[in-house]
Amino acid sequence: MIVTSTCRVLSVVVALTVLSGCAATPQDHGANTTQDDYFSRKLPGLPGEWDPMMSHVDNPILEARRLGDPPPGLVREALLAQHDQWAGTPYRLGGTTRRGIDCSALVQQIFSDTFLVDLPRTTGDQVLAGDQVAREELKPGDLVFFRPPGVYRHVGIYVGDGRFFHASTSRGVMISELDNSYWQRYYWQARRTLEPTTLAQRLLASREG
Calculate the dihedral angle through the C-alpha atoms of 44, 177, 155, 151, rounding to the nearest 10 degrees. Answer: -150
Alpha carbon distance 70, 177 (integer Å): 27
Alpha carbon distance 154, 187 (integer Å): 9
Mean pLDDT of 145-162: 95
Q: What is the pLDDT of residue 17?
A: 45
Mean pLDDT of 14-19: 43
In which band, very low, low, confident or very high, does the pLDDT at 208 lie, cut at 50, 70 and 90? confident
Q: Which residue has the higher pLDDT, 208 or 15?
A: 208
**pLDDT of 193 higher than 80:** yes
Q: What is the pLDDT of residue 44?
A: 35
For residue 173, what is the enclosing H or E element?
strand 172-177
Q: Which residue has the higher pLDDT, 89 or 55?
A: 89
Q: Which residue has the higher pLDDT, 10 or 74?
A: 74
In which band, very low, low, confident or very high, does the pLDDT at 21 lie, cut at 50, 70 and 90? low
Residue 74 sits at φ, ψ, to 5 deg, of -60, -30
**Residues with catalytic roles:** 103, 154, 166
User: What is the topology classification, in CATH, of domain 2-208?
Assistant: endopeptidase fold (from Nostoc punctiforme) (3.90.1720)
Q: What is the pLDDT of residue 7?
A: 45
Tens digits of per-residue pLDDT, 32-80? 344 444 444 443 344 444 343 343 334 444 554 544 567 878 999 999 9
Mean pLDDT of 135-151: 95
Mean pLDDT of 12-29: 43
Share of the chain above pLDDT 90, in %: 60
Domain ranges of the chain: 2-208
Q: Which residues of 75-101 are buried (b: 16+ CB within 10 A; e: fewer)?
A: bbbbbbbbbeebbebebbbbbbeeebb
Q: What is the pTM of this model?
A: 0.74
Tens digits of per-residue pLDDT, 103-117? 999 999 999 999 999
